[in-house]
């Protein structure tokens, strides 16, 4: 069995950045990651990908050449284009994913990224809910909706409700009330009400939050993904190895050094190290790289 994620979401929601940060994180905890870029418009990739659609060669050829696939025991991250109709309407992307799942015995989770700034406007938030619901129903995969770039949420002004309201998709009638205050939304009142009822009736949409530069945030998300696609069950031994990699050492001081340098996601953010990785914009992955090398140097 091979595990992985299908990373989808509207343009600019952070898919490529997510694949970059997530792959660094997973490699640090000992998983062999292969990123598959399926977005032909991704002209400046921040990550090294195992397979790039731009090369226009068959997936099977690449897998043979690089010994990827089930026997290589890699973890796959599929970076898709941002055309949302591919994931809630058209059958093509789903057909490709289904074929890959069958032929490679994949266990995939759909990671649906939505920019958190949509919470700052009730109308946009309703659209994000509808998009998420339609995508969940269409994709038929284990699915996690993510409010990405949560670190920027405060830049868009005070939210009308607590963040929990948006992540847990609480009583949408409050949202309608809020929309009613805006004269521009008045003529859509009935439509909004009906749409909110559809979302309420399904009751399957919720969100988790992500700041791709925050190691704790990424670590929590990995735990959710591992539960959703069964990695934790198939990989119990592997997980034990992943965790023990960080803890096992013959000398006590080595253990302490390794813990400080790499065991970040079990611990609350540490004040003197800042508790985040790669805070510097444009360089979100280097801290993982340096952590890995500090591990191997010890
Ligand atoms: N502050 C912050 N910025 C982020 C985060 N994730 C992504 N970004 C920024 O958002 C912008 C868009 O990110 P991309 O990863 O290119 O988004 P994408 O979904 O792959 O975009 P398309 O390929 O156009 O669909 C970039 O400038 C990223 O640096 C985040 O968690 N926090």
- Predicted confidence at residue 60, as pLDDT, reads 56
Angstrom CA distances, 244 to 160, 177, 216, 222, 275, stand at 44, 52, 19, 17, 22
pLDDT tens digits, residue range 224-261? 999 999 888 875 555 555 545 444 433 434 433 443 34
User: What are the E-state strand segments in the chain?
Assistant: 2-8, 33-37, 51-52, 75-79, 106-115, 143-148, 208-209
Q: Is the CB of 46 under 6 A from ligand 1?
A: no
pTM beyond 0.90: no
For ligand 1, atom 10, the nearest C-alpha belongs to 14
For ligand 1, atom 5, the nearest C-alpha belongs to 149
Q: Which residue has the higher pLDDT, 234 or 76?
A: 76
CA atoms within 13 A on the CB side of 251: 4
pLDDT tens digits, residue range 97-127? 999 999 988 999 999 999 999 998 888 899 9
Biggest alpha carbon–alpha carbon distance for the chain: 70
- Predicted confidence at residue 235, as pLDDT, reads 53
Q: Is the CB of 216 under 6 A from ligand 1?
A: no
Q: Is the CB of 20 under 6 A from ligand 1?
A: no
ipTM: 0.93
Q: Give me the residue spans of the domains in the chain.
A: 2-169+205-264, 171-203
Q: Is the CB of 39 under 6 A from ligand 1?
A: yes
pLDDT tens digits, residue range 164-184? 999 998 888 888 878 877 787
pLDDT tens digits, residue range 51-73? 888 776 555 565 566 665 544 47
Q: Is the CB of 211 under 6 A from ligand 1?
A: yes
The dihedrals phi and psi of 78, each to the nearest 5 degrees, come to -95, 115
pLDDT tens digits, residue range 21-51? 999 999 998 899 999 998 877 767 888 888 8
Distance 124 CA to ligand 1 centre (A): 18
DSSP string, 27-88: HHTT--EEEEE--TT--S-SS--SEEGGG---HHHHHHHHT-SGGGT-EEEEE--S-THHHH
The structure tokens listed for 47 are: 């990550």
Q: Is the CB of 117 under 6 A from ligand 1?
A: no
The CATH architecture of the domain made up of 2-169+205-264 is 3-Layer(aba) Sandwich (3.40)
The structure tokens listed for 19 are: 């694949």
Distance 17 CA to ligand 1 centre (A): 5
Q: Is the CB of 112 under 6 A from ligand 1?
A: no
- Predicted confidence at residue 173, as pLDDT, reads 84
- Predicted confidence at residue 1, as pLDDT, reads 83
């Amino acid at each position: 069995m091979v595990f992985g994620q299908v990373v989808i979401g509207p343009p600019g929601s952070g898919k490529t950045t997510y694949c970059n940060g997530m792959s660094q994180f997973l490699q640090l905890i000992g998983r062999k990651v292969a990123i598959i870029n399926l977005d032909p418009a991704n002209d400046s990739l921040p990550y090294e990908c195992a397979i790039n659609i731009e090369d226009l060669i068959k997936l099977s050829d690449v897998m043979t050449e690089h010994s990827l696939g089930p026997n290589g025991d890699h973890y796959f991250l599929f970076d898709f284009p941002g055309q949302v109709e591919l994931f809630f309407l058209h059958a093509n992307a789903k057909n490709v994913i289904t074929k890959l799942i069958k032929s490679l015995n994949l266990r995939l989770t759909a990671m649906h990224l939505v920019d958190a700034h949509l919470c700052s406007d009730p109308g946009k938030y309703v659209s994000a809910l509808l998009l998420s619901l339609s995508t969940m129903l269409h994709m038929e995969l284990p699915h996690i909706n993510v409010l990405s770039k949560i670190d920027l949420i405060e830049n868009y002004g005070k939210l009308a409700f607590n963040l929990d309201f948006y992540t847990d998709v609480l009583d949408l009638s409050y949202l309608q009330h809020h929309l009613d205050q805006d004269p521009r939304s008045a003529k859509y009142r009935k439509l909004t009400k009906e749409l909110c009822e559809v979302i309420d009736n399904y009751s399957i949409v919720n969100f988790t939050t992500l700041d791709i530069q925050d190691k704790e945030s990424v670590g929590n998300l990995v735990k959710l993904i591992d539960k959703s696609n069964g990695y934790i069950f198939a990989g119990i031994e592997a997980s034990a190895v992943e965790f023990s990699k960080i803890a096992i050492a013959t000398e006590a001081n080595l253990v302490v050094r390794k813990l400080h340098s790499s065991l970040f996601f079990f611990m609350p953010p540490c004040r003197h190290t800042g508790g985040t990785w790669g805070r510097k914009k444009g360089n979100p992955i280097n801290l993982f790289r340096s952590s890995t090398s500090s591990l191997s140097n010890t």
